[in-house]
Amino acid sequence: MTSPPSRRILITGANGVLGDATARHFLERDPECQVHLGVRERRDRAEALVAAFPGRAHLCPLEITRPEGWADAMALIESRGGPVNVLVNNAGYHEDALLANMSAQQWQGVLDANLNAVFHGCQAVLKPMMSQRWGRIINVASLSALHSPAGQANYAAAKAGVLGLTQSLSKETARLGITVNAICPGHIEGALPAGWSEEQVKAVRRETPMRRFARPEEIAAVVFFLASPEASYMTGSALKLDGGLV
């Protein structure tokens, strides 16, 4: 099978800036798709999407670091019409510190949410995708995986781990119609690190060849393509989306 009858998409961290833009992109462009919005604490943006796309956008409570949370989410989505065939592992966060001062908790928390959770997510969706012989997994890594700044040893290690996981898994599933790709965004407008001064923002913008940050929709468009039937020969990739920075 080259494409499924309809796409059932799960986006983790769907209340965040990029998760929200990605969900909207799918909902606006594919009238057949069902989008399950992984939410944890904040829900305002996700609830607005559910209201704007009734019957097609659904809330899905999901704490990504808990394997049982994934099992519950899979059961809920299955009860709504069938298993997930597109997974966007988008949820994540960073907690920066120089390594000399980084607590074990800062290290572990960032590894759990940005890397271990991707393992749990891929494992949760793989068997149904294998039976359908079709699936798309898109892992949201970061430019920090390729060009790691000081103060992000935890986040850079986690996101680099996601690239390794992506490449390895892509080889395991290549003959089964399941593609696994990662994206490495640079800075995203509206989601810049909290606490950056106006000078820092200007300096990073200046050093970016395009002289601007990504609009969330520009990243969402790439996720949308990777999730499409047309992206069928692309797997194990890590796409950098950074305005030419690296």
Ligand X SMILES: NC(=O)c1ccc[n+]([C@@H]2O[C@H](COP(=O)([O-])OP(=O)(O)OC[C@H]3O[C@@H](n4cnc5c(N)ncnc54)[C@H](OP(=O)(O)O)[C@@H]3O)[C@@H](O)[C@H]2O)c1
DSSP, collapsed to helix, strand or coil, labels residue 181 as strand
How many angstroms from the chain centroid is the CA of residue 55? Answer: 23
- In angstroms, the CA 110 to CA 14 distance is 18
Position 68 contacts ligand X (CB under 6 A): no
Q: Which of 42, 80, 212, 215 binds ligand X (CB under 6 A)?
A: 42
- Annotated catalytic residue 233: no
Is residue 83 near ligand X by the rule CB under 6 A?
Answer: no
* 169 versus 188: smaller Cβ distance to ligand X: 188
**DSSP-derived 3-state class of residue 8:** strand
Q: Provide the 8-state DSSP code for 41.
A: S
Closest distance between ligand X and the C-beta of residue 86, in Å?
Answer: 16
Q: Is 113 in the site for ligand X (CB under 6 A)?
A: yes
| Residue 63 sits in the site that holds ligand X (CB under 6 A) | yes
Least distance in angstroms from the C-beta of 175 to ligand X: 29
CB closer to ligand X out of 4 and 156:
156
Q: Determine, following the binding rule CB under 6 A, whether residue 17 of this chain makes contact with ligand X.
A: yes
The size of the interface with ligand X (CB under 6 A), counted in residues, is 25
Nearer to ligand X, 4 or 106 (CB): 106
Residues 184 to 213 in contact with ligand X, rule: CB under 6 A: 185, 187-188, 191
Site for ligand X in 142-171 (CB under 6 A): 142
For ligand X, the closer of residues 133 and 212 by Cβ is 212
Q: Is the dihedral of CA 123, 125, 129, 131 positive or negative?
A: positive
DSSP alpha helices (H): ranges in the chain? 17-29, 44-52, 67-79, 104-111, 117-132, 153-173, 198-207, 216-226
Dihedral (CA of 198, 203, 208, 211) sign = positive
Which residue type, as a one-letter code, is found at position 216?
A: P
| Residue 154 and residue 107 in contact, taking contact as beta carbons nearer than 8 Å | yes
- How far is it, in rounded angstroms, from Cα 88 to Cα 110? 18
Q: Does 140 bind ligand X (CB under 6 A)?
A: yes
Q: Which two tokens stand for residue 181?
A: 């790709």
Q: Cβ 126 to ligand X, closest distance in Å?
A: 20
| Residues whose CB is less than 8 angstroms from the CB of residue 83 and which lie 6 or more positions away in sequence, other chains included | 8, 74, 77, 125, 128, 129, 132
242 contacts ligand X (rule: CB under 6 A): no
Check residue 182 for interaction with ligand X (CB under 6 A).
no
Number of H helices, E strands in the chain: 8, 7
91 contacts ligand X (rule: CB under 6 A): yes
Q: Does 40 bind ligand X (CB under 6 A)?
A: yes
Rule CB under 6 A: is residue 92 a binding residue for ligand X?
Answer: yes
Positions touching ligand X (CB under 6 A) are 12-13, 15-19, 40-42, 62-65, 90-93, 113, 140, 142, 185, 187-188, 191
Catalytically active residues, by annotation: 155
